[in-house]
Amino acid sequence: MSSSFRCALSAPPSAGTLFSKASTKPPSNLIFSSIRRTTLTVALLVSVASCGEQTSNEVETVGTLEVVGDQSTENSASALSLVEIAKLDEPVDAASRFGDTAVYFVARGGTIHKFVNTGLESEPVLDISDLTEGQGERGLLGLAFSTDGSTAFINYTNLNGDTTVASLSVSATGEFARESLKTILVIDQPFANHNAGDIVVEPSGMILLPMGDGGSADDPLRVSLDDSSPLGKVLRVDPSDGSYTILARGLRNPWRVDLYDDRLWLADVGQSEFEEVSVLDGLSKIVSKAQIVDFGWSAYEANKVFNKDQTSSRHTPPLVSYRHGDNGCSISGGAVATTGSLRNRFVFADYCSGRLWSIAIDKSAPQMTLHFDDLDSPSAVVRANENLYVLSLSGTIWQLRN
């Protein structure tokens, strides 16, 4: 795996760029040429919810790798498989909308593509490649729909590199009206990396916007714990006027998030030692500044003290963290499975190692269960129309099936 993906997350932009196409993993045609079953044993790190020194339990779990290249292959009900359903240039997100069986996949370069039945439509439903540059950690990064499906909300970096949230009208048949594009909010980005990029709509119609810490490395501007800055936060944005309130602080780069049952699951890319899964509980009940949840960065990385000049007196530690090494170095979250054998488990991957795990969502100290290894450049795990999809920055879109 190319080191450039990791360098952009832990070093100044000159050290590398996020989502480099370069990869030393086997090409996908080798990975998926047949059904493979491999038993894997791995020691996984599960964090203990404390604010002191990092504490962990070493847990051995065994996962079964079953990769399916032929969609017609029959599988037992309990077996998990990744079925390749499409190819797309640098997919980074997917979304579905009310009353529509299609899935809409986002390409970092600035296009959105509609997947119906067994394939992608030949032309994109939206092209904003003239408004963004899909390089490094920039580009068209997130998509969500209003609760009635009539409006699309997108998160992209504009030509100045700043986070931009915009809305567009969507027809009943799924056409995006480019001429209706309206900018809701623009947030200045001081560096090229740590733009996060996801976007979620609450049942109330408000937008949830995870924000990275502004970039470079080590939180140089010390903004993540500073409520005067929107960086390093989870924001609740009013789509009518772009005003926002802070729901959480102390985040580094929450690249992908998932809203399920009033809990926001955040896969936060770590700095030097740990990757983190954090949970923002009781989301709809957070209505005042006193209720802002503090995830600790950059006073802490996971549960370990990081910048000693930063203070996080109400540090909420990650639900799970894992050390850099064989498990990887850059978390690619993550979505809760709502059907199948992984129902009520949060599923996530690591870009560097290509591993994919799940954890139970109803445990206070869940164990990571490994399901797949050596996937090619997984950039995201997303849920759309109750199905889970694993996206590879190399271009492959898989559906997780059992």
Q: Tell me which residue of 298, 289, 263 sits closest to 278, measured CA to CA.
A: 263
Tell me what percent of the chain is helix, strand and coil, each rounded to the nearest 5: 5, 45, 50
Two tokens, residue 106: 């986002």
Q: Give the HSE-up count for residue 181: Cα atoms under 13 Å, Cβ half-sphere.
A: 13
The pTM score is 0.84
CA distance 297 to 302: 8
Whole-angstrom CA distances from 197 to 74, 143, 268, 379, 384 are: 36, 9, 12, 12, 17
Two tokens, residue 62: 């065994």
Whole-angstrom CA distances from 345 to 47, 76, 109, 394, 400 are: 17, 20, 31, 26, 13
Contact 90, 134 (CB under 8 A): yes
Mean pLDDT of the chain: 85
| pLDDT for 244 beyond 90 | yes
CA distance 366 to 47: 9
| Exposure letters 53-70 (e unless 16+ CB within 10 A, then b) | ebebeeeeeebebbbbbe
**290-311 pLDDT tens trace:** 999 999 999 999 999 999 999 9
| pLDDT for 30 beyond 70 | no
Q: Give the HSE-up count for residue 336: Cα atoms under 13 Å, Cβ half-sphere.
A: 16
Query: Which residue has better confidence, 225 or 27?
Result: 225
Instruction: Detail the DSSP E strand segments found in 13-160.
Output: 36-47, 56-68, 81-87, 91-95, 103-107, 111-116, 119-120, 126-127, 140-145, 151-157
* CA 17 from centre of chain: 17
**57-75 pLDDT tens trace:** 333 333 333 343 333 223 3
**180-195 pLDDT tens trace:** 999 999 999 999 999 9
pLDDT value at position 12?
Answer: 29
| pLDDT for 21 beyond 70 | no
Let me know if domain 4-401 sits in CATH 2.120.10.30.
Answer: yes
Per-domain boundaries in the chain: 4-401
| pLDDT for 3 beyond 60 | no
First to last CA, the chain: 28
pLDDT value at position 78?
Answer: 58
**303-336 pLDDT tens trace:** 999 999 999 999 999 999 999 999 999 999 999 9
| pLDDT for 39 beyond 60 | no
Whole-angstrom CA distances from 198 to 78, 208, 272, 332 are: 31, 9, 23, 12
Percent of the chain with pLDDT over 70: 81
pLDDT value at position 402?
Answer: 86
CA distance 273 to 328: 10
| pLDDT for 20 beyond 90 | no
